[in-house]
Amino acid sequence: MTVEDIQKAKAAIPFNREQLESVLRGRFFYGPSFDLYGGVAGLYDYGPPGCAFQANIVDIWRKHFILEEDMLEVDCTMLTPHDVLKTSGHVDKFSDWMCKDKKTGEIFRADHLVEEVLEARLKGDKEARGVVSEEVEESDDKKRRKKKVKQIKAVKLEDAVAKEYEEVLAKIDGYSGTELGDLMEKYKIGNPVTGDELEPPKAFNLMFETAIGPSGAMRGFLRPETAQGQFLNFNKLLEFNNGKTPFASASIGKSFRNEISPRAGLLRVREFLMAEIEHFLDPLDKSHPKFEEVKHIKLSFLPREVQEAGSTEPVVKTIGEAVESKMVDNETLGYFISRIYQFLTTIGVDETKLRFRQHMGNEMAHYATDCWDAELKTSYGWIECVGCADRSAYDLTVHANKTKEKLVVRQKLETPVEVTQWEIDLTKKLFGPKFRKDAPKVEAFLLNLSQEELEKNAALLKSDGKLTFTVPEVESEVELDDKFITIEKRTKVEHVREYIPNVIEPSFGIGRIIYAVFEHSYWSRPEDTARSVLSFPPLVAPTKVLLVPLSNHKDLAPVTAKISKVLRKEKIPFKVDDSGVSIGKRYSRNDELGTPFGVTIDFESVKDGSVTLRERDSTKQVRGSAEDIIKAIREITYNGVTWEEGTKNLEPFVTNIDSE
Ligand SMILES: Nc1ncnc2c1ncn2[C@@H]1O[C@H](COP(=O)(O)OP(=O)(O)OP(=O)(O)O)[C@@H](O)[C@H]1O
């Protein structure tokens, strides 16, 4: 079976999510956490194949980004003090809109509710018009729920209303709470099951709060992203990089979000693995030295204008054209978009189910210059799996302002420039006697005042003869007169340019990507649809080889042991299946685990050391010496060699083992 045959098989048999989920749970890729206690929504545990799969994806991510781009990896704590997340804006703004059923108290996430109801009404409209949609098969549970949902009746909508719904859906990620409330009122959206009225949307902060230390005095949160730890280590990383930019930091670790209604399995959970990059660069130069290498890559884009026109028709062009036409803001952002595409397709994402969607103006954080999400198509719709944003200088600026610690790059200028600016001088010998242990804090605070603050204080000092400040971590107010400080405007020749770098941030949700790869890799054999296959690329497959002795005969055991020893030494993950069931059943079981290769040991193997190699998707087989077979496995798995190329010197082997 060729790649095309598999595509055909996938297209011919409707995707069955329930069957996939039963394979994933049955083979323990993952399962609900705390199952014995009834489970907790949005929390999942990974089992052995899930762990191995995730570890392989993280390993590829690390090589693809950290090693290849020479990034600086950090591992920061998940517990984060309140002040950090207050400064970053998360305490005030990291929320989603929720609305409560006035009668039952049931809670809905407002944007998801509007989306679900309008989509359902559009589907009902299509049904009423006799249009058959290319729908995925739904689980019984969902069908049951939908039967109860009032709005999902096959009701024909007026053309103008259907068009309006389409337009709203295209912009669904960009609405504010008030706008969502207005939409709910306009389209009469209540509890979709009971029809009950809902309260207007209210902001719900998604962070899990806790207290650090026994006194409870220090408020803290479980981090909602890994980014802040990277920003706070900026100065150390810059020094580590010998003061040079551009450079990127990277971090892989757990993040936590108290999602309002976590459904959709691994796609929306409350604790998840993130891999994030913060690429620090000069705001005046966002070119990328390796852009040439990727600019030919053709991608599917959904730019802002297309969405604003109510369409979801993608624009296909090269990243070179996208940057040149300014559709994508700059080369570095474009470079990362292409690298994200390369990463995702390497690990098994179907590129026909990948698009880059630009954030609309009101969806993007106010400080961001441009933002594109890599969205993957699943049976739950298009899902954001990687965000890629140009965050400007926002984060470093707010942390520097709050802590009064400079977070800047100093660049030596080839041609010195004349600069006029406000400067502050401190009479340091007076600070010690007056402020004692607080003197360094007061001095640091004053030396970090911004140009605007210096200008304002110069005028105050002149008019009042003294200044009063509130300094963080200093109890009483600080009062200073002109014996302590002088503030003056001076003109100097500068040999160094100082700037706060901008940040381009690709942010990956590993669990979402994993689930999308599960769906994109899943199909069932046309000759027997109960036989499921997960066609993972060999590099990401949890186990690479299934060793299958033909029977439990004692003569086969030494050969199995010998081959196991070589595979172990070569660090090729494998499993031995010497259970008594037929070989066909054993292979079928492993197809569900996505194991790309099967090695059969038979009585010929005892005589001449030859074994059979089976390829999971095509079920093709070849025969050769154990050494040659292992070499082929290694080449195909780790060196990107095709099956045809890797096995061209091995004997084709015809058997109907799979149907046994
Ligand atoms: N609840 C979640 N469960 C699993 N992965 C998540 C979750 N929230 C975010 N992610 C992942 O983290 C990445 C970066 O997070 P980001 O803050 O950009 O997501 P988001 O815009 O809040 O996502 P959404 O709008 O879907 O809630 C996302 O692209 C996604 O892959």
CA–CA gap between residue 525 and residue 13 (Å, rounded):
9
Contacts of 193 (CB under 8 A, 6+ apart): 145, 148, 149, 150
Q: Does ligand 1 have an atom closer than 6 angstroms to the CB of 42? A: no
Tokens of 21: 């989920």
- Residue 373 Cα: closest atom of ligand 1: 29
Cis preceding-peptide flag for 246 (omega within 30 of 0): yes
- The band of 658, judged by pLDDT with boundaries at 50, 70 and 90, is low
Q: Does ligand 1 have an atom closer than 6 angstroms to the CB of 507? A: yes
Question: How many Å lie between the centroid of ligand 1 and the Cα of residue 647?
Answer: 42
The reported pLDDT for the residue numbered 2 is 67
- Residue 274 Cα: closest atom of ligand 1: 12
Instruction: Tell me what the mean pLDDT of segment 20-27 comes to.
Output: 96
Q: Percentage of residues in the chain with pLDDT exceeding 70?
A: 95
Question: How many Å lie between the centroid of ligand 1 and the Cα of residue 507?
Answer: 9
Q: Does ligand 1 have an atom closer than 6 angstroms to the CB of 255? A: no
Question: How many Å lie between the centroid of ligand 1 and the Cα of residue 364?
Answer: 14
Supply the pTM of this predicted model. Answer: 0.85
Question: How many Å lie between the centroid of ligand 1 and the Cα of residue 204?
Answer: 16
Q: Does ligand 1 have an atom closer than 6 angstroms to the CB of 269? A: yes
How many residues in the chain? 660
The reported pLDDT for the residue numbered 474 is 85
Tokens of 528: 């027997």
Nearest Cα residue to atom 23 of ligand 1: 384
From 360-364, 436-440, 592-596, the region with the lowest mean pLDDT: 360-364
pLDDT at 532 over 70: yes
pLDDT at 449 over 90: no
CA–CA gap between residue 202 and residue 207 (Å, rounded):
15
- The band of 656, judged by pLDDT with boundaries at 50, 70 and 90, is low
Alpha-carbon distances, residue 274 vs 254, 384, 407 (angstroms): 6, 13, 25
Q: How many CA within 13 A on the CB side of residue 397?
A: 12
Q: Does ligand 1 have an atom closer than 6 angstroms to the CB of 324? A: no
Q: Does ligand 1 have an atom closer than 6 angstroms to the CB of 274? A: yes
- The band of 406, judged by pLDDT with boundaries at 50, 70 and 90, is very high
Instruction: Tell me what the mean pLDDT of segment 129-155 comes to.
Output: 52
- Residue 513 Cα: closest atom of ligand 1: 31
- Residue 173 Cα: closest atom of ligand 1: 25
Alpha-carbon distances, residue 26 vs 18, 22, 114, 376, 586 (angstroms): 12, 6, 34, 25, 15
- Residue 389 Cα: closest atom of ligand 1: 18
pLDDT at 559 over 50: yes
- The band of 151, judged by pLDDT with boundaries at 50, 70 and 90, is very low
From 155-169, 202-216, 412-426, the region with the lowest mean pLDDT: 155-169
Q: Does ligand 1 have an atom closer than 6 angstroms to the CB of 511? A: yes
Nearest Cα residue to atom 7 of ligand 1: 268
Q: Does ligand 1 have an atom closer than 6 angstroms to the CB of 272? A: yes
Contacts of 496 (CB under 8 A, 6+ apart): 410, 411, 412, 413
Candidate of 270, 271, 512, 515 to mutate for ligand 1, largest count of ligand atoms within 8 Å of Cβ:
512
Scanning 82-226, the segments in alpha helix (DSSP H) are 82-88, 90-93, 110-128, 140-148, 159-170, 177-186
Contact 202, 99 (CB under 8 A): yes
DSSP 377: E
The reported pLDDT for the residue numbered 172 is 86
Residue 493 CB neighbours (<10 A): 9
Q: Does ligand 1 have an atom closer than 6 angstroms to the CB of 376? A: no
Q: Does ligand 1 have an atom closer than 6 angstroms to the CB of 137? A: no
Give the tens place of pLDDT for each residue, 244-276.
999 999 999 999 999 998 988 999 999 999 999
Burial class of residue 359, CB neighbours in 10 A (0-12, 13-18, 19+): buried
pLDDT at 146 over 80: no
Question: How many Å lie between the centroid of ligand 1 and the Cα of residue 521?
Answer: 22
Nearest Cα residue to atom 14 of ligand 1: 507
Burial class of residue 279, CB neighbours in 10 A (0-12, 13-18, 19+): buried
Candidate of 46, 384, 385 to mutate for ligand 1, largest count of ligand atoms within 8 Å of Cβ:
384
The reported pLDDT for the residue numbered 135 is 44
Instruction: Tell me what the mean pLDDT of segment 390-404 comes to.
Output: 93
What residue type is assigned to position 507 of the chain?
Answer: S
Could you tell me which of 381, 358, 382, 379 has the C-alpha nearest to residue 370?
358
Going by their DSSP bridges, the two strands 315-318 and 298-302 should be labelled as antiparallel
Q: In what order do the strands lie in the sheet with 107-109?
A: 107-109, 95-100, 202-205
Helix/strand/coil (H, E, C) string of 493-548?
EEEEEEECCEEEEEEEEHHHHHHHHHHHHEEEECCEEEEEEECCCCCCCCCCEEEE
Could you tell me which of 285, 267, 229 has the C-alpha nearest to residue 75?
229
Counting runs of H as helices and runs of E as strands, what totals does the chain give? 25, 29
pLDDT at 138 over 70: no
pLDDT at 457 over 80: yes
Nearest Cα residue to atom 6 of ligand 1: 509
Candidate of 97, 272, 513 to mutate for ligand 1, largest count of ligand atoms within 8 Å of Cβ:
272
The reported pLDDT for the residue numbered 174 is 80
Nearest Cα residue to atom 26 of ligand 1: 384
The reported pLDDT for the residue numbered 211 is 96
Give the tens place of pLDDT for each residue, 605-623.
999 999 999 999 999 999 9
Question: How many Å lie between the centroid of ligand 1 and the Cα of residue 430?
Answer: 52
Q: Could you tell me the domains of the chain?
A: 3-77+223-393+504-511 (3.30.930.10), 95-204 (3.30.40.230), 414-499 (3.30.720), 543-659 (3.40.50.800)
| pLDDT, greater one: 369 or 349 | 349
- The band of 158, judged by pLDDT with boundaries at 50, 70 and 90, is confident
Q: Does ligand 1 have an atom closer than 6 angstroms to the CB of 549? A: no
Query: DSSP per residue over 383-409, as a string?
Result: EEEEEEEE-TTHHHHHHHHHHT----E
Q: Does ligand 1 have an atom closer than 6 angstroms to the CB of 407? A: no
DSSP reduced 3-state for 183: helix
pLDDT at 139 over 50: no
Going by their DSSP bridges, the two strands 528-534 and 485-499 should be labelled as unpaired
- The band of 155, judged by pLDDT with boundaries at 50, 70 and 90, is confident
Nearest Cα residue to atom 24 of ligand 1: 384
- Residue 262 Cα: closest atom of ligand 1: 1
Burial class of residue 604, CB neighbours in 10 A (0-12, 13-18, 19+): middle
* Element spanning 645, H or E: helix 643-646
pLDDT at 402 over 60: yes
Nearest Cα residue to atom 5 of ligand 1: 509
Instruction: Tell me what the mean pLDDT of segment 89-107 comes to.
Output: 93
Packed helices 428-435 and 439-447: angle between N→C axes, nearest 10 degrees: 130
Average pLDDT value over all residues in the chain: 91
Question: How many Å lie between the centroid of ligand 1 and the Cα of residue 26?
Answer: 27
| pLDDT, greater one: 142 or 632 | 632
DSSP 64: I
From 123-127, 551-555, 610-614, 643-647, the region with the lowest mean pLDDT: 123-127
Burial class of residue 559, CB neighbours in 10 A (0-12, 13-18, 19+): buried
Q: Does ligand 1 have an atom closer than 6 angstroms to the CB of 224? A: no
Nearest Cα residue to atom 18 of ligand 1: 387
pLDDT at 440 over 60: yes
The reported pLDDT for the residue numbered 461 is 94
- Residue 276 Cα: closest atom of ligand 1: 14
Q: Does ligand 1 have an atom closer than 6 angstroms to the CB of 359? A: no
Packed helices 510-521 and 17-26: angle between N→C axes, nearest 10 degrees: 110
Question: How many Å lie between the centroid of ligand 1 and the Cα of residue 60?
Answer: 21
Contact 512, 30 (CB under 8 A): no
Q: Does ligand 1 have an atom closer than 6 angstroms to the CB of 115? A: no
Q: Does ligand 1 have an atom closer than 6 angstroms to the CB of 259? A: yes
Question: How many Å lie between the centroid of ligand 1 and the Cα of residue 102?
Answer: 29
Nearest Cα residue to atom 4 of ligand 1: 268
CA–CA gap between residue 51 and residue 259 (Å, rounded):
24
pLDDT at 401 over 80: yes
- Residue 374 Cα: closest atom of ligand 1: 29
For CA atoms 214, 215, 216, 219, the dihedral sign is negative
For CA atoms 127, 131, 133, 137, the dihedral sign is positive
From 101-110, 134-143, 604-613, the region with the lowest mean pLDDT: 134-143
Tokens of 55: 């570890």
